[in-house]
Amino acid sequence: MLYSHFTEKLLGLKDVTIKNVENNEGKTEIYLEKPVKPHICPTCGKSTTKVHDYRKQRIKDIPSFGKQTVIILNKRRYKCECGKCFYEKVDFLPRYRRMTNRFSAYVISKLTSVCSYTSIARETGVSIPTVIRIFDLVQYGSPELPEVLAIDEFKGNTGGEKYQCIITDPKTHVVLDILPKRYSSHLIDYFKPMDRSKVKYFVSDMWHTYSDFAATFLKNATPVIDKYHFIRQVTWAFEAVRKEEQKKFTTDHRKYFKRSKRLLTKRYDKLTEEQRQQVDVMLYSSANLSSAHFLKELFYRILDNKDKEVAKKAMSDWILEAQNSNIPDFVTCAKTFINWSVGILNSFDCPYTNGFTEGCNNKIKVLKRNAYGFRNFKRFRNRILHIFNNQHTIKMATA
């Protein structure tokens, strides 16, 4: 079957007649009009087809074939018997707007990436404030709390605060909300009206504000310390010993240790035979470094346990070894493990970590860097939620 309206089909608009298409420098102008149809008078409610006059209206449309697109609509005005003149209804153009519905949807969809408002404005040929106004149509409300709740802070530098707080569901990999502050009073005001009874696990880092809040307001939840945050305590302690011991060596010997630090921090059983010989030589040159390496490897073996009770016994033995090592950094590390023993041991039974949350924080840093920072917290929050949860329903005003 022959089809004679290829241009209309390619344009994607119904009930329009294309009069002309002009290609200028980097821009495509499409001249069109709608067919004459009966319209209902908004004053008396009668139907009329009498055309009063025409006016040309420039409408911004989505880019096509690498060029910006402008629709020039020959918009007619009807006149009723009662004397009322009114414009015809255009399905693809909201009232009082100079851009199509799909152009707004296109801009909002492009903002699901970490690109800046400036890059979107440059691509679509509109001003930066226009892009921001379109995005401000996006609204995200407060979420329902899931079974697994994870919390962390990131450096947002917006809304007059240095740090913002991110709340995620590590089980379903969904960003739930962004809070403007990480203080205890603000967390209480945010979570108090919510139904907190469903939360079974609360994953956080080693910050007392989070643990104190969970103990008071999430009594049904099991507190879990993220593995990365307590494992790095041992890594930091070992690195501190290595750096201190390096200072005692000659220049060449010190440079060799510095360049070989990855061999020392890596698990011994994952090294090749040649690498193990290199590590043995380095450990032989320092008794403190050898003791610190022993404690590090002993701790890593504890992480292989999947049973909480077995891990509890092994952790107690490790803490005793660290306290008796007379290495200040490991003594401090052992004290930290004692203070956070409940959450650390719960991590051996809980399959969830803050890995997803830390990944979100990294993406937020990229967003903030591309935008050269955000001053408006509400817009910053909506942008983050839009990037991570763009499958949610977007509430847009079309009137």
β-pairing verdict for 27-33 and 67-79: parallel
237 and 315 housed in the same domain? yes
The CA-based angle 349-355-361, given to 5 degrees, is 150
Structural domain boundaries enclosing 322? 227-346
216 and 234 housed in the same domain? no
Q: What is residue 398's predicted lDDT score, i.e. its pLDDT?
A: 35
Cβ atoms of residues 178 and 165 within 8 Å: yes
Q: What predicted TM-score, i.e. pTM, was given to this entire model?
A: 0.82
In a domain, 381, yes or no: yes
In a domain, 72, yes or no: yes
266 and 199 housed in the same domain? no
In a domain, 396, yes or no: no
Last residue of a domain, one of 85, 111, 137: 137
Q: What is residue 343's predicted lDDT score, i.e. its pLDDT?
A: 94
User: What's the distance, CA 69 to chain centroid?
Assistant: 31
Q: What is the pLDDT of residues 299-339, one digit of tens each?
A: 999 998 888 899 999 999 999 999 999 899 999 999 999 99
Residue 132 parent element (H or E): helix 128-135
236 and 342 housed in the same domain? yes
Q: What is residue 10's predicted lDDT score, i.e. its pLDDT?
A: 66
246 and 155 housed in the same domain? no
The residues of the chain scoring below 70 in pLDDT are 1-10, 390-399
238 and 340 housed in the same domain? yes
217 and 365 housed in the same domain? yes
Q: How far apart are CA 219 and CA 217, in angstroms?
A: 6
252 and 334 housed in the same domain? yes
Q: What is residue 340's predicted lDDT score, i.e. its pLDDT?
A: 94
CATH value at residue 180: 3.30.420.10
In a domain, 241, yes or no: yes
Q: What is the pLDDT of residues 43-67, one digit of tens each?
A: 888 888 888 888 898 988 888 877 8
- The SS3 call for residue 336 is helix
In a domain, 212, yes or no: yes
**Total number of domains constituting the chain:** 4
170 and 192 housed in the same domain? yes
In a domain, 353, yes or no: no
Q: What is the pLDDT of residues 108-118, one digit of tens each?
A: 999 999 999 99
Last residue of a domain, one of 59, 74, 93: 93
In a domain, 302, yes or no: yes
For residue 50, give the nearest of 92, 15, 88, 16 by alpha carbon. 88
The DSSP bridge partners found for residue 32 are: 18, 73
Q: How far apart are CA 374 and CA 381, in angstroms?
A: 10
319 and 170 housed in the same domain? no
88 and 98 housed in the same domain? no
Q: What is the pLDDT of residues 177-192, one digit of tens each?
A: 999 999 999 999 999 9
Residue 355 parent element (H or E): helix 355-371
- The SS3 call for residue 314 is helix
In a domain, 352, yes or no: no
Last residue of a domain, one of 118, 137, 156: 137
Sign, CA dihedral 207-213-216-222, equals negative
Residue 182 burial (10 A CB sphere; 0-12, 13-18, 19+): buried
Q: What is the DSSP string of 189-248?
A: HHHTTS--TT--EEEE-S-HHHHHHHHHH-TTSEEEE-HHHHHHHHHHHHHHHHHHHHTT
Q: How far apart are CA 388 and CA 363, in angstroms?
A: 10
Cβ atoms of residues 151 and 166 within 8 Å: yes
The CA-based angle 187-193-195, given to 5 degrees, is 100
128 and 41 housed in the same domain? no
Place of tokens 């079957």: 1
